[in-house]
Homo-oligomer: A and B are copies of this chain.
């Protein structure tokens, strides 16, 4: 299951959907809003998604993970909206009979989701500047476009 959520995520409820006595391993990844990025103090984030396409791409990523790794269950939910420091931005959970597959698949899911899903992040800095991450163009500061 891959989902975009405008509501806060509930990791315990998400993990309960993975309960499975054939599984010996459950690996989860949580992405938290961090107070810095490449040396810049960060105060808050906005996440925005093109949800229909993100969910289609997410379903493809899940299918790839199932084909590559011997996993049992897999869930990825990405938050959108205004997030504060420490907030949960993305939750990925994978179960498998053995832990190697669970670790590898969890890593694959978050790496591919971040690389491919149409989800964007705007950082709000302590100096009240903002930037859409990875959207800088030649002449902009680093890889930020400050607006």
Q: Which B-chain residue is minimally distant from A27 (CB atoms)?
A: B29
Across the interface, A27 reaches (CB within 8 A) one of B27, B33, B35, namely B27
- A100 → B minimal CB distance (Å): 9
Contact present for B23 and A32 (CB under 8 Å): yes
Across the interface, A86 reaches (CB within 8 A) one of B21, B25, B86, B99, namely B21
A110 at interface, CB cutoff 8 A: yes
For A5-32 the 0/1 string (1 means CB < 8 A from B) is 0000001100000010111111111111
Q: Which B-chain residue is minimally distant from A22 (CB atoms)?
A: B35
A117 at interface, CB cutoff 8 A: no
A1 at interface, CB cutoff 8 A: no
